[in-house]
Amino acid sequence: MELTIFGTAAAEGWPAPFCRCPACQEARRRGGPNLRARSGALLDSDLKIDFSADTVMQMLRTGRDLADVRAIVFTHQHSDHIVPTELEWASGPFTNTPPAQPIAVFGNAQVMQMLAQVFPEPAKANLDFRPPLEALVPVTTPMGDLILPLPADHAPGAFVLRITRNDGKSLFYGHDSGLYPEATLVALAGGSPLDIAVFDCTYGGAKSSNRGHMGVDGVIQMAQTLRECGAATAATKLIATHFSHNGGLMHEELVEAFLPHGIAVAYDGIVVRA
């Protein structure tokens, strides 16, 4: 299983476009992994997670394409995770190699309503809108993967995702969320150990309540909780992502903070294999 994390910033990106705070200025100065676009990921080559307005740029920057994508799953309705009109590129004249079958699209009720307003006839756009996701009710992708939507501590209807590929490999895609609700932890504990777990670290090193999003301390706490309940083992690759300039810590400082806890720090374009 190969997870490519294309974007690792919170909604405003980092550096933020209208900001000259010390964290944004330092990111501009250092460059490299400190330059972060809005979130989105690709599992192997056929399952896209979220689709922000940065997606086209991310494809250009990494030399990738989405021509093999057969399913898209959205975590929630915020604009750094979904811009419905960006899905227009799956049909002509925007592509000369359209998908052989419409792309299955999954999301909560709010997401599916947003999409339906833009695509009243989704098949004409090579899209196949599936019924809205419900918490703790698994759905199957055209590739045979199992997606289990889990409650998030975030916007109404937001989900974190446990995705089990058809070969048995599993991913926990755990942002956007604060400390995970009990139902989510119970569901994760009830499954086989995860191969990869991705955590929200929007607040970085800033003091926070770990509600809505998490900071470094929240990620460390949730990683330990997953270890204690058996959802994560020594073999599980633990990754922190979704950072905001308001968290203050640069990439190198985040690496230092997480290193003693066995948690890696994502950067745009990172590829994680399990």
Answer whether 2's CB lies under 8 Å from 271's CB: yes
**Partner residues linked to 47 by β-bridges:** 43, 71
Q: Which pLDDT belongs to residue 17? A: 97
Phi, psi dihedral angles at 50 (to 5 degrees): 65, 160
For residues 35 and 16, give the distance between their C-alpha atoms in angstroms, rounded to a whole number. 10
Pick from 219, 199, 215: nearest CA to 207: 215
Q: What is the pLDDT of residues 202-248, one digit of tens each?
A: 999 998 999 999 999 999 999 999 999 999 999 999 999 999 999 99
pLDDT in tens, the chain (274 residues): 999 999 999 999 999 999 999 999 999 999 999 999 999 999 999 999 999 999 999 999 999 999 999 999 999 999 999 999 999 999 999 999 999 999 999 999 999 999 999 999 999 999 999 999 999 999 999 999 999 999 999 999 999 999 999 999 999 999 999 999 999 999 999 999 999 999 999 999 998 999 999 999 999 999 999 999 999 999 999 999 999 999 999 999 999 999 999 999 999 999 999 9
Pick from 51, 43, 70: nearest CA to 7: 51
For the chain, the domains span 2-273
| CATH architecture assigned to 2-273 | 4-Layer Sandwich (3.60)
**SS3 assignment, position 32:** helix
| C-alpha distance from residue 6 to each of 57, 62, 173, 261, 262 (Å) | 10, 8, 14, 24, 22
